[in-house]
Chains A and B, each alone.
Chain A
């Protein structure tokens, strides 16, 4: 599971997708594609972005929900918390005066 998260985060396009989802949850594939083109000049096809989303989804970083006829993508930061806590010392530098 953690390996999936690292793999998902290793790609700049996937990190940009997460950046966009931080800004607003509940985006359709169309909106994600439009944001990547408008904000980052991405030349990727819809299929390519769809595949990137599938990687993020299998790592648990993106969850999809169906609402009526629509499909929306939300950010899920829980897998990141596991990564962060893995290397956190119980008494980090900040906690010592």
Chain B
């Protein structure tokens, strides 16, 4: 068994697609109309056949309180691997991305946490 798709709730799928592709650097994989929403997934250009990230509409009434509570306590909705967290922090900060946690060495890993502008905090991480 492998992880095929994981998802984040986004308040606006079009805005989310732009952020996850133009800013974070993912590429669109599937874009299928489903009623008012889209089955919209992105993948890493480094792993086009790897795990897909589904940009799921956040319309369900449970999502608002869930996202609000997570963000207030600084809890990331997802964690993405990068080669170099400080370098990625500099690159993304230059693009106007807001971080709620600066790069921080935590034992064997270095992490930082950013706002995806669609309702979520996202952690980036690299190993030692």
Contact = CB atoms under 8 A, between A and B. Distances in A.
A28 B73 CA distance: 6
A31 interface: yes
Contact of B73 (A24, A30, A38): A30
A31 B71 contact: no
Interface in B87-103: 100-102
A7 interface: no
A25 to B, nearest CB: 11
Nearest to B74: A28
A70 B74 contact: yes
Given A28-B101, A30-B101, A31-B101, A71 B106 contact: no
Give the secondary structure class of A's interface: helix
Contacts, number: 45
B107 A70 contact: no
A37 to B, nearest CB: 8
Contacts of B102: 24
B100 A70 contact: yes
A62 to B, nearest CB: 15
Contact of A69 (B68, B76, B101): B68
Given A46-B73, A69-B68, 13 more contacts: A24-B102, A27-B101, A29-B73, A30-B76, A31-B74, A31-B101, A31-B104, A34-B104, A34-B106, A35-B106, A69-B72, A69-B115, A70-B74
